[in-house]
Amino acid sequence: MANFNRIIVSGNLGNAPKSADDGSWTHVSIATSNSWKDKKTDEWKEKTQWHRVMAYGYAAEKLSKCTKGENIMIEGSLDYFDPKEEGGEKSAYIKAEKIITSPKPKSPQVNDDIPFP
């Protein structure tokens, strides 16, 4: 079987994007949530997970234009940061290659020319 490293995450931006001064990279956190009904208590429960995302090049440029709370989908691969300090643990992140943003809701159009009955 072939090796495969692919991740797709769809969720909400938890913070404003942070970018390098030269625009070469952008970093964000994305929140995803799962909900279920607890069989014992009959209550709905929810679990939110946070995912670190790094983007480079064109993907970084596109991600830098997103705003906190915006719903986006990221497709990429799982990668790891090497710790800067001795004895530190590696940290996982998603290396974004494709970014899909949801269309922004349009404000309703008001037509004042229609007479009120």
pLDDT in tens, 51-107: 999 999 999 999 999 999 999 999 999 999 887 777 778 889 999 999 998 876 665
Structure-token match 């974004």, residue found: 96
Phi-psi label, residue 42: left if phi above 0, alpha if psi -120 to 50, beta otherwise: left
Q: Is position 18 within any domain?
A: yes
Global pTM value: 0.76
CB 97 within 8 A of CB 59: yes
pLDDT at 114: 54
CB atoms within 10 A of CB 56: 16
Q: Is position 58 within any domain?
A: yes
pLDDT at 94: 96
Domain count, the chain: 1
Q: How far is CA 34 from CA 10, 49, 63, 75, in A?
A: 12, 9, 24, 19
Q: Is position 79 within any domain?
A: yes
